Amino acid sequence: MSKDDKQIATPLLGRMSFGMNFSPNFSSGKELEHLDREELLVTARSLLAEAQALSVRIAAVNEVATAINRSLNLDEILRVVGKQAKWLLDFEHLSVYLLKDNSGRFIKLIGNPVEFEESLIANNNSFHKALKTGQAQLIKQADPTDFLNQYTSQIILPLESSKKILGVILFGSTRPQAYNQEDLRIGYLLALQLSSAIRNANSFEDLNLLYSEIEKEKLKSDNLLLNILPAQIADELKSTGRVNPVYHSSATILFTDFENFSKIAKLMTPESLVEELDYCFSYFDRIIEQYGLEKLKTIGDSYMCCGGIPKPNLTHPLDVVLAALQIQKFMEIRKQQKLKQNLPYWDTRIGIHSGELLSGVIGKKKFVYDVWGDTVNLASRIESSGVAGRINISQATYELVKDSFDVEHRGKILAKNMGEIDMYLIKGIKA
């Protein structure tokens, strides 16, 4: 048996007709015009039977095509092929090898387990030829070195779409001479439909991956926005592209400042200075988050936050004073740690004032959520007129928290550009 007899490559299969394009088998060996009436009847019946059989198989291909085109999930598509391909061809083994992004995946759909390794795809075997050249392979005697050599008869068909080979589909039978050209054509019709379904499934998967990446980037962007703006303000900015200024009839501002910061900073290396500021302010962040306050900004060694914005509430003066007490306690513990290590430390002034203010967002590239009004200015003066290690509050805040906290009246204290103002020091929560 010649090599050509064992294996037939069909590079022109795609241009073949799948209609009545086959030759009748005249058992008598006579030309058609020389047949008698009886022989013509036998030949006609034979042709009709073959045409009907082919028609049934083509209808089955169409049914499989309809089923696999209902899904964009590759695993579901292959499951349907494995289930319904038996209506098209007689085989004991059915598998596909899929290529995507320069990597391959062998998937057995029907048959005994197969030991498949990429190294088994040799340059001169049928699998490789179908995969690399797009030539359909009709194998009548499997090569002993073939990884599917247990199946004497094989059909290996390229899965191709838009001149790109997506993989191959393999049919195998242990019966010698199990397949003919008609089987090859039917398999090719299935391969065409499967190629289209794989292409659509791959596109759908790529699209989902793209959406997933976009969603991840959007989440990153949203998180970055939430680092600089309150959630409510960020939502308004994303939905309208701008943020309207908001008047708040009552809010409470807290300022902190480290006494003798510049003098002590000179004793520290730049790295240790930034590290210490980051340590302290990060802890402040956690405290104000705990009390539902809004961080506004840090300016050097000054830290500013506010209660009652952007969402108004009635508890903002109490929340701010409670946060201030916790900040005060933290800084005292930090001071004691520094003293034990014979390191410089900061005493903290804390000032609090309550009143009306405006809030809004400024900037086009670097957004800043900020507040304005006399309340902000006075809160700053309350802090700068405060006492190291203590919490200094204004008359307005005192009136709002006096039932909940013990306070010490300091009398009228001169505040820069604001004259003398009544101020109070928080001593603690009332028992």
Backbone angles phi, psi at 147, to 5 degrees: -70, -15
Query: In the chain, pLDDT over 70 holds for what percent of residues?
Result: 93
Residue 306 has pLDDT above 70, yes or no: yes
Mean pLDDT calculated for residue range 27-50: 75
pLDDT of residue 266: 86
pLDDT of residue 14: 40
Q: Can you tell me the distance from the alpha carbon of 69 to that of 3, in angstroms, rounded to the nearest whole number?
A: 38
Q: Can you tell me the distance from the alpha carbon of 309 to that of 355, in angstroms, rounded to the nearest whole number?
A: 12
Mean pLDDT calculated for residue range 94-103: 90
CB-based contacts of 91: which residues, under 8 Å, 6+ apart?
A: 85, 110, 111, 171, 172, 173
Q: Can you tell me the distance from the alpha carbon of 337 to that of 327, in angstroms, rounded to the nearest whole number?
A: 15
Residue 26 has pLDDT above 60, yes or no: no
* Residue 426 pLDDT grade (very low, low, confident, very high; cuts 50, 70, 90): very high
Mean pLDDT calculated for residue range 264-276: 89
Question: CB 310: neighbour CB atoms within 10 A?
Answer: 20
pLDDT of residue 28: 54
Mean pLDDT calculated for residue range 338-358: 93
Mean pLDDT calculated for residue range 310-335: 96
The tokens for 48 are 């009709």
pLDDT of residue 17: 38
pLDDT of residue 364: 77
The tokens for 93 are 């083994």
Mean pLDDT calculated for residue range 87-103: 91
Q: What is the mean pLDDT of the chain?
A: 88
- List strand residue ranges (DSSP E) for 103-176, in order: 103-110, 136-139, 153-161, 164-173
pLDDT of residue 208: 94
pLDDT of residue 311: 92
* Contact criterion met (CB below 8 Å) for 169 and 159: yes
CB-based contacts of 236: which residues, under 8 Å, 6+ apart?
A: 242, 243, 244
Residue 25 has pLDDT above 60, yes or no: no
Q: Can you tell me the distance from the alpha carbon of 265 to that of 280, in angstroms, rounded to the nearest whole number?
A: 14
Residue 363 has pLDDT above 90, yes or no: no
Q: Can you tell me the distance from the alpha carbon of 71 to that of 201, in angstroms, rounded to the nearest whole number?
A: 8
Q: Between 47 and 350, name the one with better pLDDT.
A: 350
Mean pLDDT calculated for residue range 61-90: 88
* Exposed/middle/buried for residue 69 (C-beta within 10 Å: 0-12, 13-18, 19+): middle
Question: CB 316: neighbour CB atoms within 10 A?
Answer: 25
Mean pLDDT calculated for residue range 362-388: 91
Place of tokens 């039932």: 403
Mean pLDDT calculated for residue range 28-56: 77
Mean pLDDT calculated for residue range 85-104: 90
